[in-house]
Amino acid sequence: MAKDNGTLRKTMVALTAIVLLLSTILCIHSISGHGLIGCTQGTNCNIVLGSRWSFLFGIIPVSALAAGAYLTLLACILLIDSKWTGAQEQQFLFHAILVVSGAIIGCAIWFIWLQSHMIRAFCPYCMTAHILGIVISVLSVIWCIGQKTRRIVLNILIGVLIAAALGVVQFTTTPRSLAERGFVNEPLRYPDPKEMPIIGSPDAKHKVTMLFDWQCAHCRRTHIMLPDAVNQLGDSIAIVCSPVSMSRECNPHISPGIDRFAGSCTFMRIGLAIWRTNPDAYWEYENQFFGTDLVQSWNPPTVEQATAMAEQLIGKDRLEKSMQSRWMENYIWTVNELFGRTSKGTTSAIPRLIYNGKIMIPEADNPSALASLIREIVQ
């Protein structure tokens, strides 16, 4: 029988059971699409769990593989002291624990890297699972060392190689960009491009309207890549930046429920007020708000901070006057109508590209991939 180390073993069982439950919940979410607390449209959590990297070959949820790994690990830990387990079976189970532990550590590192460099957003549920998985794996190795298990390093390396193989397969089979597409066969009223912020040439032949919310994590990530993407498109295509609120406070097309975008209406008014008052100051405000890199975009300003930035750029009186102008009310009515008419099924998310009735929800890993999607919608 294995040497008794009750506290360590019980800790491993408890933590493994927790991560198994969490992985199962994430798997059910991936398959059914049922929401999770704090994982609504536009949040970092939703971006990660809804990304193409959350599936293998586009159909197998990676959380299902994680659940299988933790179920295997839990079974090995529980069976190792069973009265039906002999010395030979124990050695096999210890080797299996080491292999699975190596695979868990390798996969945790891989998926943390994916979130940081490819998806560019972090899911708190996923990160919790990854961190606990690493802790469990380290405890498992310590336990196996105490049991005088043979070939510890070799078994761990086998597990790491399995994780590496998974990473290679996923990286080579997952497309660099993806998009949900739709079409509206009716006339649409767009905000006047001459009155809106434009990324690209104002004289571009093709002007693509982009609906975004200042608080939407996916929008922030896309926005950071837009200047580079548009530069690759030349002077024939430009992006008309049209903010829309994802809060029911000023958008009647948003479903009732918990308001995950509280303050969204104010953010929209602040940005447009700066643009209407001083277009040059708008771009400075945008850079401060979105940041110029991924790390900055993780911590967007609060309403109070955004207001303070705006007051410093154009003055308090001019800000308040522009935020409550008739133009502002007309714009909000127009963009809400455009949002409502183009919100159908899979195209109800943001950021949303709209051009001549064509709708696209882009998901890209880099500016070049985003440029390809923008080029596609105008063809």
Q: Write out pLDDT tens, residues 129-160.
A: 999 999 999 999 998 888 777 889 999 999 99
> Is 45 within a domain?
yes
What CATH number corresponds to the domain at position 83? 1.20.1440.130
Per-residue pLDDT of the chain (379 residues; tens, 9 = 90+): 455 567 888 999 999 999 999 999 998 887 776 667 767 666 778 778 877 888 888 788 999 999 999 999 999 999 887 777 777 888 889 999 999 999 999 999 999 999 888 877 788 899 999 999 999 999 999 988 887 778 899 999 999 999 999 999 998 988 766 778 889 988 999 999 999 999 999 999 999 999 999 988 788 888 888 999 999 999 999 999 999 999 989 999 988 776 678 889 999 999 999 999 999 999 999 988 887 554 444 567 889 999 999 999 999 999 999 999 999 999 999 999 999 999 976 567 889 999 999 999 998 888 999 999 999 999 8
The answer to whether residues 219 and 175 touch, using CB atoms and an 8 Å cutoff, is no
- 114 and 152 inside one domain: yes
Which of 36, 37, 354 lies closest to 207 in space, CA to CA? 354
**214 and 139 assigned to the same domain:** no
* Extended strands (E) in the chain: 55-56, 60-61, 177-183, 198-199, 206-212, 237-243, 352-355, 358-364
Does residue 118 lie in a domain region?
yes
Nearest Cα neighbor of 129 from 39, 53, 66, 44 is 66
Same domain, residue pair 240 and 268: yes
Q: Are residues 161 and 224 in the same domain?
A: no
- Residues 141 and 227 placed together within one structural domain of the fold: no
Tell me the residue length of the chain.
Answer: 379
Number of domains the chain contains = 2
* Domain contains 1: no
Question: Does one domain contain both 244 and 281?
Answer: yes
Last residue of a domain, one of 124, 148, 173: 173
Q: Kind and range of the H or E element at 125?
A: helix 124-146
Looking at the structure, tell me whether residues 169 and 271 fall in a common domain: no
- On whether residue 164 sits in a domain, the answer given is yes
Residue 79 to residue 98: CA distance in whole angstroms: 15
252 and 164 share a domain? Answer: no
Structure tokens at 62: 């990676």
Give the strand order in the sheet containing 206-212: 177-183, 358-364, 352-355, 206-212, 237-243, 198-199
Q: Are residues 81 and 152 in the same domain?
A: yes
Between the alpha carbon of residue 362 and those of residues 301, 367, 376, the distances in Å are 25, 12, 11
Residue 24: domain span: 6-173
Structure-token match 């303050």, residue found: 263
Please identify, among 133, 153, 173, the residue that sits at the C-terminal boundary of a domain. 173
33 backbone dihedrals φ, ψ, rounded to 5°: 80, 5
Tell me the two tokens of residue 64.
């299902």
State whether 149 and 182 are in the same domain: no
Per-residue pLDDT of 48-101, as tens digits, reads 887 788 888 878 899 999 999 999 999 999 988 777 777 788 888 999 999 999
Residue type, 355: Y
User: What global pTM score does this model have?
Assistant: 0.71
Q: Domain end: 173, 193, 213, which one?
A: 173
Q: Are residues 159 and 240 in the same domain?
A: no
Q: What is the CATH classification number for the domain harbouring 334?
A: 3.40.30.10
Left, alpha or beta for 182 (phi > 0: left; psi -120 to 50: alpha)? beta
Q: Are residues 304 and 371 both part of a single domain?
A: yes
Measured at the CA of 76, the angle between CA 70 and CA 78, to 5 degrees, comes to 100
